Each structure stands twice: as C-alpha cells, then as structure tokens.
Amino acid sequence: MPLDIRNIGVVGAGQMGIGICHVCALSGRSVHLVDVDTEQLDRAMAAVDHYLGRQVSKGLLTEAEKDEAFKRITFGSDVAAFKDRDLVIEAATEDEQIKKGVYKEVCPHLKPEALLATNTSSISVTRLAAQTDRPEKFIGMHFMYPAPMLDLVELIRGIATAPETFRIVEDLVLKLGKTPVSVEDFSAFIVNRILMPMVNEAIYALYEGVASVKAIDTAMKLGCRHPMGPLELADFIGLDFCLAVMNTLNEGLADTKYRPCPLLVKYVEAGWLGRKTGRGFYDYSGDEPEPTR
C-alpha cells in the first residue's frame, strides 16, 4: 500500500466533491475530479476557483498559492484517468445503488495497491466494500459539509478494512489539516446519528403545531447557542438528504424514534428541498429568507 497519499481521485462534482478537491489541493496533493455530467464539471471548476478566491480576499491565501492549488486539480468524465491514483474518494449521491454502480466502473481502472474510500454519511461501509474488488483497502471517509470549513472527518472501518488502510488514511486526514475520529460501522455513524434525529424532532414540533418555524429556530439558537436553528440547518443541508439519513436510521436500527416526520416527507415530495431549490422551511426568493409556515 502507498505510505503517503499524493495522487487522489474524487468521484462526484457536487458540493461535497468540490469541497474535498479544494481541501486536498490546498494540502499539496494532485486531485482529479470525475463526473459524468460535463456541465456539472464546468460548475465545479468555477466553484473551486470562487472558493479559493474567497480565501485570498480574506487573507488566508496569497494569489500565488491560490493559482498553485487550482493547477493541482484536473477535471474529466472518464474514470480510466484514475489508473495512477493512490486513493479514490467516492462522493456520489447518498444512494446505495448509485454508489455500487460507481465502484463497478471505477475498480477495474485502479492499480492493485490503490485505496478506495466512500464519503457516505449513513450507509454501511461493510456493505459498500463488499461490492468492490478490494474490501480490505476500502474505508469510510466522511467529510463534514462544507469540507473546507469544518475540521472533522469520520473514519469508518468496514468489517474487512485492514488496519494498514485505516492507518494510512488517518495519516492523510491529519496532513489535510483535519481531525479524524474513529467510528464503528453503524447507521449514520456519530454526527448524523445525533444531528438528524434532532432536526427530525424539530420538524415534528412544527408538524404538531408546537411552534412556528421562526420560533423553533430562535429557541434553539438562543437557548442552546446553536449557530443555526434546526430548520434553517435542514434547509442548508438539503431536506432530501435529511430524509435519506432518517430512512437509513429507521431501516438500519428498527426503532420508531427514527421514523421520518410526515411533514419532511411531504416537503421532499413537493420538491421543497431547501436552499438549493429556493424553498424549504424558508422561502429564499427575496432579499431575506421568509418562513413558509
């Protein structure tokens, strides 16, 4: 196995994939980002340039450091380009079948010693690893969103993950300037197992008429010193993602306390997914977000 990860591949040019590329490039690693949607790749390229530029404007990077980091990232739609990668991180949609399809395409192009990681936030790492040709070299590597801003990376061993795989990836996380925590392979791991039921309970409070959107968010911000209220946070994360995690918890742990709130289900069915669609528990069409209930 490679003792030091220098060449990294990332699958999925969504917000998580973009953030992971950003972090890895700033640490001096070569990164290749792959997505089947070429228009999304163009958006990803512009987004990385934008986020690096913001760091320059804040005095966190020099213009020269920004340019060097951006040059380390390449973009493409062919997974065959991963043939020289030491590690490939899958950051596809939080859908088990989509992720399994990614591994089927990627694995034949990896060198034998290459490691494979998933950025899943809730799906069994053991189950995903079993769909690859290298379960002992497979690990969960869950970056928080947004990856450039948050320091935590959850490292999840599947039942077959080799100790050496864990050690190498843990070392990489430290070199990326992040803090790794070791997590057992249970549904939603640590952060989302605790966070999403809180968000779901806030939605239940709204659904049952306990309080309004604004009141719930204000209470949690002022009463618990949370930087964002739970409904505001749900909109920021994406209500479809919140529902996916709650469904994973509900199915994986078989406890009624993880049942998704019917109101969350309705919002997702309506396409009200939060900030990314312009409407969720808040309406984002105006100058300031306005509660929708």
Average pLDDT, the chain: 95
In the CATH scheme, what architecture does the domain 7-183 have? 3-Layer(aba) Sandwich (3.40)
Confidence of residue 2 (pLDDT cuts 50, 70, 90): low
pLDDT in tens, 202-244: 999 999 999 999 999 999 999 999 999 999 999 999 999 999 9
CA distance 95 to 36: 16
Return the pLDDT at 203: 98
Q: Read off the amino acid at residue 117.
A: A
Mean pLDDT across 48-63:
93
Among the listed ranges 33-42, 199-208, 260-269, which one has the minimum average pLDDT value? 33-42
Q: Which of 115, 79, 120, 116 is nearest to 96 (CA)?
A: 120
pLDDT at 141 over 90: yes
Catalytic residue among 32, 192, 200, 232: 192
Active site residue 154: yes
Identical fold, 7-183 and 192-280: no
Residue-level pLDDT at 273 = 97
The confidence score (pLDDT) of residue 4 equals 86
In this predicted model, what pLDDT tens digit does every residue of 21-30 receive, in sequence order? 999 999 999 9
The predicted-structure confidence for 267-293, as pLDDT tens digits, reads as follows: 999 999 999 999 999 999 999 999 998
Tell me which of 154, 187, 200, 232 is the catalytic residue. Answer: 154
Q: Find out whether 88 and 116 touch, Cβ atoms under 8 Å.
A: yes
Position 187 confidence tier, pLDDT thresholds 50, 70, 90: confident
Contacts 24+ apart (CB under 8 A), 56-65: 61/26
Domain residue extents for the chain: 7-183, 192-280
**Residue in the block written with tokens 């300037």:** 177
Phi, psi of 6 (to 5 degrees): -110, -35
Mean pLDDT of 11-40: 95
Q: Residue 1 pLDDT > 70, yes or no?
A: no
Catalytic residue (choose from 121, 122, 124, 200) = 121
Tell me how many helices (H) and strands (E) the chain has: 11, 10
* 121 is an active site residue: yes
Does 247 participate in catalysis according to the annotation? no
- Long-range contacts of residues 255-258, Cβ cutoff 8 Å, at least 24 apart: 257/197, 258/197, 258/200
Mean predicted confidence (pLDDT) in 183-201: 95
Fold type of domain 192-280: N-(1-d-carboxylethyl)-l-norvaline Dehydrogenase; domain 2 (1.10.1040)
Catalytic residue, from 142, 187, 200, 232: name it: 142
Contact predicate 179/155, CB 8 Å = no
Q: How many other CB atoms are there within 10 angstroms of residue 153's CB atom?
A: 24
pLDDT digits (tens, 9 = 90+) for 150-179: 999 999 999 999 999 999 999 999 999 999
